[in-house]
Amino acid sequence: MSEEKRKNPLSVYWIYVAFVILLVSTHLYVNSETSTTIKYKETLLELVEAKGVKNVKIVNQSSARFQLRKEGIQYINTHKKLDFPNMRKVINSKKTDVNRLVFELENIGNHANFEKALDDRKYSDYENIIETNWIAQILGYLLPFGIIVLIWMFVMRRMSGGGGAGGGGGQIFNIGKSRAQVYEKGKSTNVTFKDVAGLEGAKEEIVEIVEFLKNPKKYTELGAKIPKGALLVGPPGTGKTLLAKAVAGEAKVPFFSLSGSDFVEMFVGVGASRVRDLFRQAKEKAPSIIFIDEIDAIGRARGKNNGFNTNDERENTLNQLLTEMDGFGTNSGVIILAATNRADVLDSALMRAGRFDRQIYVDMPDLNERKEIFGVHLKPIKLSTEIDVDFLAKQTPGFSGADIANLCNEAALIAARHNKKFVEKQDFLDAVDRIIGGLEKKNKIITPEEKKTIAFHEAGHAAVSWLLQYANPLVKVTIVPRGQSLGAAWYLPEERSITTTEQLLDDMCATLGGRAAEQLIFNKISTGALSDLERVTKQAYAMISIYGLNDRVGNISYYDSQGRDAFTKPYSEDRAKVIDEEVSKLIESQYQRALQLLSENKEKLEQLAERLLSSEVIFKEDLEAIFGKRQWDPIIEETPEELKVPNSEALAETVTESETNSEVTDDAATPPVDTKPEENAS
């Protein structure tokens, strides 16, 4: 079908170019008898006086055309003034026929004075002629008009998207055509399922969709109906778009890819028109797949906050999309894939069965999945023999697939910066520090008093986290300014499925350890604990108002997963007062707990701070030397079982559990752990 509809390679613009070349060539041919021109009127008059010219023609009373006699040629060869040198070059050229050579004086000045000068020199062999250059006049009229037409056509084609996929390339008014990028047979994204590591559950369902398109009889014989649509939901960077690219590379059927914003236009009705054109093309080329990235751009729930959102055009586009998705037959061979990281704002009509039958959640990768992702991104990198993938996976909790790809690239850049032939383990550790903490600022000016305060602040964090059972184990502490922070501490959080109250309290106490150390040693506090206070405040409010972990408030959660109470509080003023009181009480109790721990270990705290001041960087071994070996080591249970996904040799599914790797916020679904450095913003 594509071969039959292939466009003629002879574009209309080539016809315009050929026409212009023809006009210019004709003009040059007509005027080819004029071989050269002269600038000075005195040149012609001097040659007339020397009796060296013939056939003088005054053209349109503005210019003169003449030929040379033998006397004129001889006179030019013996004199070197005025235009004679240039005329001599033309006369003596081998290609020049002297008998047919015609010179032209571009400007004769005043016509009457010029004729009088000829008469004074007793020359009467001249005549006045009138010439009309029709081609020049035609070009003078048509050329501006043609330029305007070409500019207008260029602008209209740009407004219509350049005539991309959708069949509207030859039309001027094709603004309502679909802008989807089409991948057909012989054209793919060069991404397959082998390039997608992790995401085993998602790949299993996607592979089933691809298999249906390749072999639909296998399913329809049993009465099965393939889902009309699948929605990929997950945080940014987890591989939703990559998974769709793999589908385009594996399906071997027409694949229409576009973004939700491609439907948005300033003109009324354009979005709905593009939706209709997209589905029309997909039905013509069925079996096919339509992929809409960032579908929340047009799929937002209707009727919410109407006073703040009056975009009726977006709703019209959504209505047309809903109609098209439910308008074709069950087994028509058109399947819709969509991706978003904001599934909570999508319209309920879009999410119902019959439109998006499946919602595939693409979570952050766990330990085993990170190993697989590292295996993909480390292939093109020249690695040292000491590189351990298991170690790298354990050092990157909370990293998405995009973060891991960035980490591998950053490590390679660091190795190249140091003129290394292979990427070593230390390069990866430096890359982790660079991504999490930011760029080192070794030249930042810090007074000795400030440096001492920062050292005790970071030592307080490290000491409290080391002494608490459920606090995250320390990896590294530094007082070298990095990014926006004056000091930083790296922890290795445990990958938990659930988090208890004791774990949250220990984490909160460790976070307040920095300010507690300042209070204990200097008997004063600073603004360096800004990020600490922000974190524990959000954490405390989440514990009380979301997770129901407070006895006074009770087992009540005010968390709204649908976001319907964005501008109103779901509780009374009295209850808000109670929540505020309990938050203050909870934070203060953990602060006093941190003070008590540091008071009991004040000497060890001072030793740790002094070591940090002297070396600027301390590691886990330094804490073990001062405090002794930590009693509580995290136990990571790995699931060795691997489940093979049908029809793909490279797909392996590992039974894993979700991890908690982000700070608690008002919309968090899991308790927090933190891998970010503590900031000292003074």
pLDDT digits (tens, 9 = 90+) for 209-238: 788 877 778 888 888 777 778 888 888 888
Q: Predicted confidence band at 179 (pLDDT cuts at 50, 70, 90)? A: low
Question: Tell me, what's the pLDDT at 662?
Answer: 32
Q: Where does residue 539 rank: exposed (0-12), middle (13-18), buried (19+ CB within 10 A)?
A: buried
Distance CA 408, CA 396 (A): 12
β-pair partners for 642: 654
Residue 31: predicted pLDDT: 47
Q: Which residues pair with 57 in a beta bridge?
A: 65, 127
Which residues, other chains included, contact 109 with Cβ-Cβ below 8 Å and sequence gap of 6+? 41
Q: What confidence score (pLDDT) does residue 163 get?
A: 43
Which one is predicted more confidently, 327 or 369? Answer: 369
Q: Name residues whose C-beta falls within 8 Å of residue 185's C-beta, 6 or more positions apart in sequence.
A: 252
Strand ranges, E, within 424-540: 474-478, 488-491
| Residue whose entry in the numeric block shows the structure tokens 């003070």 | 595
Q: Which of 24-33, 146-155, 485-494 has the lowest mean pLDDT?
A: 24-33
> Tell me, what's the pLDDT at 218?
83
pLDDT beyond 90 at 444: no
CA distance linking residue 49 with residue 123, whole number of Å: 8
Supply φ then ψ for residue 269, to 5 degrees: 90, -5
Q: How far apart are CA 579 and CA 565, in angstroms?
A: 18
pLDDT of amino acid 647? 33
Smallest Cα–Cα separation from 627: which of 613, 657, 606, 648? 606
Instruction: Starting at the earlier edge strand, list the strands of the sheet with 36-38.
Output: 36-38, 103-105, 63-68, 53-59, 126-129
List residues bridging with 339 in a β-sheet.
232, 293
Looking at mean pLDDT, say which of 77-86, 202-211, 230-239, 664-673 comes out highest: 230-239
Confidence of residue 537 (pLDDT cuts 50, 70, 90): very high
* Mean pLDDT of the 191-217 span: 79
Q: Are 370 and 389 in contact (CB under 8 A)?
A: no
**Given this model, what pLDDT does residue 594 score?**
92
Is residue 514 pLDDT above 80, yes or no? yes
Name the one residue in this structure whose structure tokens are 């005329």: 87
Q: What is the pLDDT of residue 342?
A: 82
Q: Is 250 a catalytic residue?
A: no
- Other residues' Cβ atoms within 10 Å of the Cβ of residue 682: 14
Q: How far is CA 108 from the centre of its chain?
A: 66
Computed over every residue of the chain, the mean pLDDT equals 75
In whole angstroms, what is the distance from residue 366 CA to residue 654 CA?
Answer: 10
The mean pLDDT of 488-513, rounded to a whole number, is 83
Among 127, 160, 131, CA closest to 57: 127
- CA distances in angstroms from 217 to 55, 226, 287, 334, listed in the order given: 92, 11, 13, 15
The maximal CA–CA distance of the chain, rounded, in angstroms, is 127
Residues linked to residue 293 through DSSP beta bridges, in sequence order? 259, 339
pLDDT at 643: 32
Model confidence band, residue 505 (pLDDT cutoffs 50, 70, 90)? very high
Q: What angle do CA 130, 135, 137 make, to 5 degrees?
A: 75
What is the separation, in whole angstroms, between the first and last Cα of the chain? 68
Q: Position 282: which residue type?
A: A
Q: What pLDDT does residue 363 have?
A: 83
Q: What is the pLDDT of residue 644?
A: 34
pLDDT on residue 164: 42
Do the bridges between strand 63-68 and strand 53-59 make them parallel or antiparallel, or are there none, so unpaired? antiparallel
Amino acid 23: pLDDT = 60
**Which of 277-291, 307-321, 447-461, 580-594 shows the highest mean pLDDT?**
580-594
Give every CB contact of residue 432 below 8 A, 6+ residues apart in sequence. Answer: 395, 396, 407
Q: Which residue has the tokens 């992929």?
A: 291
Percent of the chain with pLDDT over 70: 76
Mean pLDDT to the nearest integer, 288-296: 85
CA–CA dist 485, 488 (Å, integer) = 7
Q: 646: cis peptide before it, omega within 30°?
A: no
The H-or-E segment that residue 197 falls in is none
Token readout for 543 is 């514990």
Instruction: Report pLDDT for 180.
Output: 64
Q: How large is the average pLDDT for residues 193-201?
A: 79
Kindly state the average pLDDT of the residues 442-465.
84
DSSP tag of 614: H
Rounded CA-CA distance 491/493 in Å is: 6
Least confident stretch, 28-42, 142-156, 181-195, 621-635: 28-42
- Predicted confidence at residue 140, as pLDDT, reads 73
CA–CA distance, 30 with 34 (Å, rounded to integer): 9
For the ranges 118-122, 261-265, 414-418, 538-542, which has the lowest average pLDDT? Answer: 261-265
For the cut 70, the answer to whether the pLDDT of residue 15 exceeds it is no
Distance from C-alpha of 373 to C-alpha of 351, rounded to nearest angstrom: 30
- In this structure, of 16-25, 82-91, 616-625, the range with the lowest mean pLDDT score is 16-25
For the record, the structure tokens of 192 come out as: 């397959």
Residues facing 618 on adjacent strands = 477
Tokens for 288, please give them. Answer: 């096919």
Proportion of the chain above pLDDT 90, given as a percent: 8
Total residue count of the chain as it appears in this document: 682
**What one-letter code names the amino acid at 240?**
K
Mean pLDDT of 422-445: 79
Most confident option among 17-21, 252-256, 481-485, 528-532 = 528-532
Residue of higher predicted confidence among 247 and 330 = 247
Q: What local confidence, expressed as pLDDT, does residue 676 receive?
A: 38
Residue that wins the pLDDT comparison between 573 and 55 = 573
Q: Alpha-carbon distance 660 to 358, whole Å?
A: 25
Separation of alpha carbons 264 and 207, rounded Å: 31
Q: What is the pLDDT of residue 364?
A: 84
Is residue 4 very low, low, confident or very high in pLDDT (cuts 50, 70, 90)? very low
Taking the C-alpha atoms of residue 174 and residue 163, their distance in angstroms, rounded to an integer, is 7
Between residues 399 and 658, the one the model is more confident about:
399
Please identify which of the residues 458, 495, 518, 659 carries the catalytic annotation.
458
Average of per-residue pLDDT across 2-28? 56
Which strands, in side-by-side order, build the sheet including 358-361?
A: 181-183, 255-259, 288-293, 334-340, 229-233, 358-361
Look at residues 517, 420, 527, 519 and name the one whose alpha carbon lies nearest to residue 477.
Answer: 517
